[in-house]
Copies of this chain bind each other. A is one copy, B any other.
Amino acid sequence: MNVNGRHWRTLWPCAGATAFEVVDQRVLPHRWETVRIETVEAAAQAIRDMTVRGAPLIGVTAAYGLALQARADAADAALQAAATRLKEARPTAVNLAWAVDGALAALLAAPVASRAALAWQHAAALADDDVATNEAIGRHGLGLLDALARRKPAGQVLNVLTHCNAGWLATVDWGTALSPLYQAHAAGLAVHVWVDETRPRNQGASLTAWELQAAGVPCTLVADNAGGHLMQHGLVDAVIVGCDRVTRQGDVCNKIGTYLKALAAWDNQVPFYVAMPVSTFDGSLRDGLREIPIEHRSAREVTHLAGLSAQGELLEVQLVPEGTQAANPAFDVTPARLVTALITERGVLQASEEALQPLLTPAPG
């Protein structure tokens, strides 16, 4: 992803392997800042306070966090405690547990003296894998978009709606849901993206609209309430969203509000695609509604909002009187029956137990 004429990843190791840096997503789109992370505690905090967010990126962040721990103290108990702390930072995204458990198992199998170097290599490989995965998701998704575009009258723009941010900023590079759109744009396919602002944290308004604009992809921001109306009027050709966890039967856990868009897509015969790195698949669960734990975040995310004042100062305003009760479930589950297909790095799969069966075994190679 290019920002201000330079290629960036969202996370990179610092020379000397004593720290890594990340793009600070809390101050986007108003400020472009990076944060240096030097301890596993700081890594967990960056995940918790959403300096980094997006299921793939928090997995890689946690792997680097564990690498920092391995440099400080690589004994079994220290690594295990750090792994627990990292996994507890966000309970919903399965990538986080997957990345941490994978890294921890590799480290515990190695001699203590070699663990620090190994942990660093492991995290770097995970970051590179994420980039390759997302590039492949984009390629497969582009095939779907291309087929939809061919069904439209010549010269008409393909309109795609997305919710939250499953873009470059949610991953190390490319994004998941936005990867097909970046590749379509690069391939000369005329696309336009409806961006749900995605209350309460406004990741659509703050991150998705910002990164699409940085990449030159035409987009229009809308309130989360608008998507159904747009679909009723033929203004949406497809929905593509990311996901935080997908169950064995294809139920999709993603940002709160995704389910409402899936219902509207279903009601208006609009294809509803979910970009899913295989690392997000959780074969241990079947019924997403009953089995996926849903993170409830602070009421303050609903009652307060940050933005730029008329003087250009970044500040927070309170939307409601003191004492107003608010609830803030952060994710919801879209039943598999509403999902047209899952776009994975291994190809496009139906959201069904049968189609997802191959994912229960590790990929060849």
Query: Which residues of A does B touch, CB under 8 Å?
Result: 29-30, 194, 197-200, 202, 205-206, 209-210, 213, 219-230, 232-233, 255-257, 259-261, 263-264, 267, 289, 294, 302-310, 315-321, 323-329, 331-333
Instruction: Give the complex CA separation of A223 and B320 in angstroms.
Output: 13
Instruction: Give the complex CA separation of A41 and B191 in angstroms.
Output: 44
Instruction: Give the complex CA separation of A328 and B197 in angstroms.
Output: 12
Which of B200, B227, B317, B323 touches A260 (beta carbons < 8 Å)?
A: B227
Secondary structure at the A interface, as helix, strand, loop or mixed, is: mixed
Copies of this protein in the assembly total 2
Task: Report the minimal beta-carbon distance from A209 to chain B, rounded to whole angstroms.
Answer: 5
A210 touching B320 in the complex, CB below 8 Å, given contacts A219-B325, A228-B259, A326-B222: yes
Task: Report the minimal beta-carbon distance from A221 to chain B, rounded to whole angstroms.
Answer: 4
Task: Tell me which residues across on chain B come within 8 A of A316, comparing CB atoms.
Answer: 310
Listed from nearest, the 4 A-B pairs whose CB atoms lie closest are A225-B257, A307-B317, A229-B332, A263-B263
Asked if A317 and B320 sit within 8 Å, CB to CB, the answer is no
Task: Report the minimal beta-carbon distance from A263 to chain B, rounded to whole angstroms.
Answer: 4
Identify 24 residue pairs between A and B in the complex whose beta-carbon atoms are under 8 Å apart, listed by A's number.
A30-B321, A197-B199, A199-B223, A199-B224, A200-B223, A209-B320, A213-B324, A221-B302, A221-B325, A222-B328, A223-B224, A223-B328, A224-B225, A225-B332, A226-B328, A229-B332, A229-B333, A232-B332, A260-B261, A263-B267, A305-B305, A307-B318, A309-B317, A310-B315
